[in-house]
A = this chain, B = another copy of it.
Amino acid sequence: MSENTSYWLWYPGDFELYHALKQNFSRVERGCPWPAFWKSEGFRNRVVFRRCYDLPEETTFFVTGVAGSVGYVQLDEEKHPFDTLIFCTPGKHRISIHIGCIGCVPSVFVSGDVICSDEGWMVEDYSQPPVPSAYNRYFTDPSRDPSEWPYSEKVYEPVSVEEVNQGVLYTFETELTAALEVTGPESPLVFLGESRAEALDTKNCYYSCRPDENTRRCPRQAVRYVFIPDVQAGDYSVRAIHQFTDIPQRASFTCDDDELNQIFQVAAHTFSLCSGCFFLDGIKRDKWIWGGDAYQSFYVNRYLTADAEIEKRTLLALRGNDPVTTHVNTILDYSLLWILSLSVFYESYGDDTFLSGIYPKARSLMELCLSQREENGFIIGRKQDWVFIDWADFDRDGPLCAEQMLFAACSRVMASIAPESEKQTWAALYAELTEKINRFFWDEEKHAYIDSFRSGKRHVTRHANIFAIVFDLAEESRKQLLAKTVLFNETIPAINTPYFRFFELEALCRLGYLKEVLQEIKSYWGGMLRLGAVTFWEEYDPSKPLEQQYEMYSDPFGKSLCHAWAASPVYLLARYFVGLHALTPGGTEFEVEPQIQFFRELDCTFPMGQKQVHITLYNGQVSVETSPYII
């Protein structure tokens, strides 16, 4: 019996919703588990898989259900239990596999020479029409069902063991997401830190635990430093079982500026740590799947791993089921960024199958947005919605301009991804919104988009103006004007989150201010390196010394020191400095415009769809080679 081509099967999206629940419920803060504070979308509990076969000869098959499930196999009119060998005569047969499961995604594995769980099974949920079953490449072993995400493991020994503060501090070469193994006479209380300061602060450190008495292991947790108080160096040995999702990095960046090289490597490393079953914001905190953070991860991932699977999982995890009642993470703009993410995903992979499968969820989410328009047709939040955009001091009286910019950009994306019959509706919405945005929010005196037209305050922040540039919602001349009136206007409060700095740097790149962006990369990210960072941080204030960098959200160690959105140099360097970008979805055609004015030498490789693109600059000569990507 060959099982080479069989996968565990489930209803599309259910796997992601189940693992998203586990992921979003995995945060622990000082002994308090902290499940994410938004509507949690459950998976289906009862589905049926169906398929017809016309067999040339007799065969057998065997069906396994996920642990905790109940169900049966129906072969024509006959019922069979799971886990029994089923004989099938030659000829036409209809097979259905009925399964119910409460605690986990209902999924099945069919083993057999001919009848097996490969492509071709349809699945129903007794509510919607049948759809093709879903599966993924990690689940091809009938004995390992989809209830546990299969992490790869790598063992790390500490690079230093140091007696300090009447205890012992163990340091690893980098931050890890690891199950600590603590061997010694007892199960001591161990204190974990992303920083040395955190591990040594036994009162304020974010996470501490006692290893399990049998396995000697602590739960999987972000860690670089481990402190055990009241012991001596020889008492305990500590090692870290790093548990990670093995998504190969397909990119490298080397130039004549070592600082930039290091920035790229640390950004790539940071991003890999934050890429598990899904794109996470950070590995210590929040360990949640946020739509806004994910949006930026799609850009970085395109140039680093080009792994479409993690992107699909993240898109499905964020959006939940129809009918939709709440916004992604409860945040109105994250719903809009989710729709924009579809477009980023499609540009990267040109995957029409996934796009057409998920389009109905984009449409229903847009319909929810459309139901939230005020009298002028602008989107506003409902009582239960969070209108975020950024941590900034907006004039929030009435519709917020930045939100409308996203809404307009979404309508353009919808026009591009919708079936032919629906394109015109979305295009008309796009035209309407762009016209209205310019009519209501553009201030001819300030030469800028204002936050709100209702208050009369004509308050300008950078955000809407940045969106106008990056989402192409203003004419070229106006965009260039905005550089002066807003981006380089020091009277307008600076962007103070790395989250929105991504959009700002993107806008500067778009307008050609590459020198300024490179300076910023070297000063901001380089600044973290100079403070000893081995992963990039959620936030960094260049004006503060190291010991004041760890505080955030009024928590002395609240700041995440390994945060996905800090990985944007990977994208910025690849896209704007090496200048590689696709001309067609999936990168079948692409362009390289290396900005050789910034480099003497370059030796870089980046993924472009199924290919690897190798770009070098030596002695003023640029060379570009492509080769197929072989896993």
Give the B-binding residues of A (Cβ under 8 A): 18, 21-22, 24-25, 29-40, 42-46, 48, 70-72, 79-81, 98-100, 102-104, 125-127, 129, 323, 325-326, 330, 383-384
Contact = CB atoms under 8 A, between A and B. Distances in A.
Contact of A39 (B43, B70, B126): B126
Q: Which of A18, A22, A102, A383 has the most CB of B within 10 A?
A: A102
Contacts of A326: 126-127
B21 A45 contact: yes
Given A22-B102, A24-B100, A34-B98, 13 more contacts: A31-B81, A32-B72, A33-B70, A33-B72, A37-B48, A37-B126, A40-B46, A42-B44, A126-B326, A126-B384, A127-B326, A127-B384, A323-B325
A50 to B, nearest CB: 13
Contacts of A32: 72, 79-81
Nearest to A29: B79
Given A18-B102, A32-B79, A79-B29, A39 B72 contact: no
Q: Which of A40, A44, A80 has the most CB of B within 10 A?
A: A40
A383 B127 CA distance: 10
Contact of A33 (B29, B71, B102, B129): B71
A566 to B, nearest CB: 27
A102 B25 contact: yes
Contacts of A71: 33, 35
A485 to B, nearest CB: 40
A330 B98 CA distance: 16
Given A39-B126, A46-B35, A330-B126, A30 B100 contact: no
A29 B78 CA distance: 12
B42 A42 contact: yes
A127 B383 CA distance: 10
Contacts of A38: 46, 126
A43 B42 contact: yes
Contact of A35 (B18, B22, B39, B100): B100
Contact of A40 (B40, B79, B80, B100): B100
Contacts of A126: 37-40, 326, 330, 384
B39 A125 contact: yes
Contacts of A384: 126-127, 129
Contacts of A125: 39
A80 B103 CA distance: 27
Contacts of A81: 31-33
A103 to B, nearest CB: 3
A128 to B, nearest CB: 8
A323 B320 CA distance: 14
B100 A25 contact: yes
A61 to B, nearest CB: 16
A78 B483 CA distance: 45
Nearest to A21: B102
26 contacts: A24-B100, A30-B79, A32-B79, A32-B80, A33-B70, A33-B81, A35-B98, A35-B99, A36-B46, A37-B98, A37-B126, A38-B46, A38-B126, A39-B126, A40-B44, A40-B46, A40-B100, A42-B43, A42-B44, A42-B45, A102-B103, A103-B103, A127-B325, A127-B384, A129-B384, A323-B325
Nearest to A73: B32
A14 to B, nearest CB: 11
Contacts of A29: 79
The 9 closest A-B pairs by CB, nearest first: A35-B100, A103-B103, A33-B70, A32-B72, A40-B46, A42-B42, A323-B323, A40-B45, A39-B126
Nearest to A98: B35
A70 B35 CA distance: 7
Contacts of A129: 383-384
A33 B104 CA distance: 17
A21 B42 CA distance: 14
Contacts of A127: 39, 325-326, 384
